[in-house]
Amino acid sequence: MITVSEAKRLVQEHTPPARVEMLALAKAHKYTLAEDVVAKEPSPRFTNSAMDGVTVRCTENAATYKLIGESAAGNPFLQIFGEGDAVRISTGAVLPDGADTVIPIEDIEIQGKNILVKKPVRKGQWVRVQGTEYLQGAHILRSGTVLRPAHIALAAQCGYAELPVFAAPRVGLIATGTEIIALPENHHKTLLSGQIYDANTPMLQAAIENVGGVCAMTRHVSDSLQASIDVCSEAAATCDIICTTGGVSVGEHDHIKEAAQILGFETIFWRVRQKPGKPLFFAKRENTLLFGLPGNSVSTLMCFIHYAQPVIASMLGRTHAWRILQARMSKNLVNAGGRAEFLRVRLEYPLQNSSLETSATMLPLAIPLEKQESFMLTSLTEADGFVFLDIDATLEEGAPIDVMLL
């Protein structure tokens, strides 16, 4: 049995490199860019108008101009343009050669072919000059950028129909246990004696989607060695990561470890000095990882978010980081149980109505939930986060502590 830190180190060491794929812009949102994106052309592509109005070659104190044509968006004015001339222009339309200024429509009066200027004009006003945002060859998006809608728009503006991104790892979920019954989609199914609904699969599907992975398959397998071999073989053929739930302890009906070994998976570790989640199994075959997660739902999720979730983030080209909030312990805690604990806590915020409050006393209280058993899902739904209490660690009441938010 190994420690939590050793388990995390081994998982990190065996995490396969991220794969790069080309994705159409419509699908690249929220993916991480794998290469720099370089501007194929400057922005603006051409000098254009920032307003509706007329464009002129600015002449000091000129009060009138002669209207000779129009430059519309997508239909530029291509005739000879001289001093004293004016061309009607739309926002975004090309400035004719020789023009250098735009006068907004509200600042002029049109009398036939004559343009009367009603306000003083500054040379270069309301003109977007070619290349003022960026030049051709500029690095407009950097590798490692998590693509948001604005990034997608910028890539499209530069003429990119697809982008190189880190591929989302394909995760296969396998729920083990003859007693497990998947929830029917359209009707309620009455459970027989000894049966329970499968809570782990929908929970992990949500967790995988939440971190950016793709749930490529879900299966249920009864407590049979051959069935376990068959379904793990199917998952290994198409998935980057396999997450099984249950079947990794020491019972005679636990077959995942043996099935994985028969299929050529190398055992990296089995069992971690932690609570919950002691019987965690981790194995690898080439670039396919297998996480044998415990069957109790709290253990399942805690092991997933601590060990599998960082792998998914890494394969997406990202660094996994907890959202951490500093709090203070509500009571003394001593971990003398020989295993590190992921202690679920709720946060209670103090009333901020006293001038005597200090920064320390204004921190929220981290209150351990009374029900911490690994089968009690309410210890997750009622928790704001958890405190990591290492082996032989002691926390005193009121001591500042980092709470990892769920």
User: What are the tens digits of pLDDT across the range 298-335?
Assistant: 999 999 999 999 999 999 999 888 899 999 999 999 99
Q: Which CATH number does the domain 324-405 belong to among 3.40.50.720, 2.40.50.100, 3.40.605.10, 2.40.340.10?
A: 2.40.340.10
Q: What confidence category does residue 360 fall into, taking pLDDT thresholds of 50, 70 and 90? A: low
pLDDT band at 356 (very low <50, low <70, confident <90, very high): low
Spell out the residues 6+ positions from residue 252 whose beta carbon is closer than 8 angstroms to its own. Answer: none
Give residue 261's pLDDT.
97
Fold of 20-43+132-166: Molybdopterin biosynthesis moea protein, domain 2 (3.90.105)
Cα(177)–Cα(185) distance, rounded to whole angstroms? 20
Instruction: Give per-residue pLDDT as tens, 176-209.
Output: 999 998 887 655 677 889 998 999 999 999 999 9
From 381, 363, 341, 387, select the one nearest 4 (Cα to Cα): 341
- pLDDT value for 355: 53
Boundaries of every domain in the chain? 4-19+168-315, 20-43+132-166, 48-128, 324-405
Q: Looking at beta carbons, which pairs linking 264-271 to residues 24 or more positions away fall under 8 Å?
A: 265/290, 268/10, 268/11, 268/14, 269/2, 269/6, 269/7, 269/10, 271/1, 271/2
Do 48-128 and 324-405 share a fold?
A: no
Q: Enter the CATH code of domain 4-19+168-315.
A: 3.40.980.10
What are residue 267's DSSP bridge partners? Answer: 283
Q: Which amino acid is at 246?
A: G
Secondary structure (3-state) at 197: strand
pLDDT for the residue 57: 96
Q: The tokens 């290349």 sit on which residue?
A: 131
Candidates 200, 182, 285, 207; CA nearest to 239 is: 285
Q: State the Cα–Cα distance between residues 337 and 276, nearest whole angstrom.
A: 12
pLDDT of residue 359: 59
What's the rounded Cα separation, in Å, for the pair 102 and 50? 8
Whether domain 48-128 has CATH 3.40.1190.20: no
Pair 219, 175: CB distance under 8 Å: yes
Spatial distance between the Cα atoms of 85 and 76, rounded to a whole number of angstroms = 16
Calculate the average pLDDT of the chain.
94
Q: Which of 164-173, 176-185, 317-326, 345-354 has the highest mean pLDDT?
A: 164-173
For the entire predicted model, the pTM comes to 0.86
User: What is the rounded CA–CA span in Å between residue 34 and residue 318?
Assistant: 11
Mean pLDDT along residues 27-39: 97
Give the tens place of pLDDT for each residue, 146-159.
999 999 999 999 99
